[in-house]
Structure 1
Amino acid sequence: MKHFFSIIGGMGTQATESYLHLLNQRTPAHHDQDYLNYILVNHATVPDRTAYILDHTKPNPLPDLLEDIKQQSLLKPDFFTLPCNTAHYFYDQLQAATDVPILHMPREAVEQIKISYPTAKRVGLIATNGTLHDGVYDHEIQAAGFEVVKPTAEIRDETMNLIYHDIKENGTVNANRYHHILAQMVNTLKSDIVILGCTELSVAQEQAGNHSYPVMDAQSVLVDRTIELAERNRQSK
């Protein structure tokens, strides 16, 4: 197969499914052959990223992710996507292990804010505790000239319940909980825009997007960048 990309997914599987659904839905296709060529690595048994980031005595996801990157690199994809925000904690080590470019989801999301919300100043972030702790988004947001608005302890706990209890464990989206989280970030903490910095939150947005709060869905941005890059590679080679 020529002109394809590899997706390092399964973190979690439902979030990867959401990424694939949006990817295929947004691809401009009228025939089977118009869709994009890709390989999905749904590595569901990769150890929990947040657990390791917060406690290095827990199983380390990096060896599994490196194995996936190295195996897929042998097939010579045009690029990689990594539809898991928290896994970007390991981005530099993963990119150093291959010559194949890896799209950086947090960076792409923040860049899109400058385009879609040019007057924004205060950028809120909701994500797993691992992503909030590792500072990947903080760096990107501040480098772009925005002020980072972190959630309170109450909002963090509510967000972790939505991600882990509702979506990962039970496969459901508590719309009221999701909307309450956004209301607190926008109305109480005065965020001009809220980044959905976890792909489970992207699932929540897909299923409960009937709200008026300004959000930047990192996974949605990754989908658009994936299509743009894949189409450009297909047309230029």
Structure 2
Amino acid sequence: MQKFFTILGGMGTEATESYIHLLNERTPTHKDQDYLNYILVNHATVPDRTDYIVDPDHHQSPLVPLAEDVRQQSQLGPQFFALPCNTAHYFYDQLQALTDIPILHMPNLAIAAIAKKFPQAKRVGLIATEGTLKDRIYEVAIQAAGYQFVMPTPTIAKETMTLIYDDVKAQNWVDADLYHHILQQMVEDLHCDVVILGCTEISVAEERAGHANFPVIDAQGELVDESIRLALAARKQ
């Protein structure tokens, strides 16, 4: 297969399925051959990213299997890698150092989209896993881009973890009321001009329940759009 990209997925599988669904849905097609060429690595047994970031002394590192995937897939020569797991970007620099093939950086894509979609935004909130909040990947980049970063309250963070782990990961179910309540608190109580959906399980909630007119940037959606842009551009080369 020529002119393809590799998706480093399975973190979690439902979130990866959401990425694939959006990828296929947004790709302009009229026949089978218009769809994109890609390899999906659904590595479901990669250890939990948040568990390791929060307590590395008692949990297995996800870096080892992710590094193996990058090395293996690099031998096949994809044009780029997509990594549809925000928390896994904790290992981004280490993974990119293993290959000359570019790995798309989902958090950076999401932050870059703010200026395009919400040009008046000043206060940028984030809902994500405990691991993503702890590793500050979004926080540092949001501030570097000139925005005021808004951390969710402990209550919102706990509700978000319930949505991610108890609902989507454990049951493949989205509590739409909980998702909308989280967004409402971020916008109305914490006065966010825009909220970044910084976990692909939250992107599952967004796909199934919608954001009820609250201002959001879906990081996974931005990754999908960039994947399509690069893949279609490569076809023309």
- How does the TM-score come out when normalised to structure 1? 0.99
Q: 1:112 aligns to what?
A: 113
Query: Are residue 193 (structure 1) and residue 211 (structure 2) matched?
Result: no
Matched, 1:134 2:135: yes
Aligned counterpart, 2:84: 83
Aligned to 2:4: 4
Dislocated runs of 4+, deviation >6 Å: none
Return the offset for 1:210.
5.3
Mapping of residues 1-237 of structure 1, within 5 Å: 1-57=1-57, 58-209=59-210, 211-236=212-237
State how far apart, in whole Å, the 2-side matches of 1:19 and 1:212 are: 22
Q: Deviations over 1:83-138 (max 9, x none)?
A: 00000000000000000000000000000011111110000000000000001101
Higher mean alpha-carbon deviation, 34-43 vs 135-144, is at: 135-144
- Rounded to whole Å, the distance in 1 between the matches of 2:87 and 2:2 is 30
Between the aligned partners of 1:103 and 1:222, the Cα distance in structure 2 is 8
Alignment partners' CA distance in 1, 2:171 and 2:24:
25
Deviation at 1:189, TM superposition (A): 0.2
1:234 shift after superposition: 1.2
How many matched pairs? 236
Letter in 2 for 1:22: L
Which amino acid counterpart does residue 156 of structure 2 have in structure 1? Answer: I
* Alpha-carbon distance in structure 1 between the residues aligned to 2:211 and 2:140: 30
CA distance in 1, matches of 2:28, 2:198: 26
Percent identity between the two aligned chains: 64
RMSD of aligned residue pairs (Cα, Å): 0.6
Scaled by the length of structure 2, what TM-score is found? Answer: 0.99
Matched residue type, 2:201: E
What amino acid sits opposite 2:45 in the alignment?
T
Unaligned runs of 5+ in 1: none
- Distance in 2 (CA, whole Å) between partners of 1:210 and 1:112 is 17
Q: Aligned equivalents of 1:134 and 1:210: distance in 2? A: 26
TM-superposed CA distance for 1:143, in Å, is: 1.4
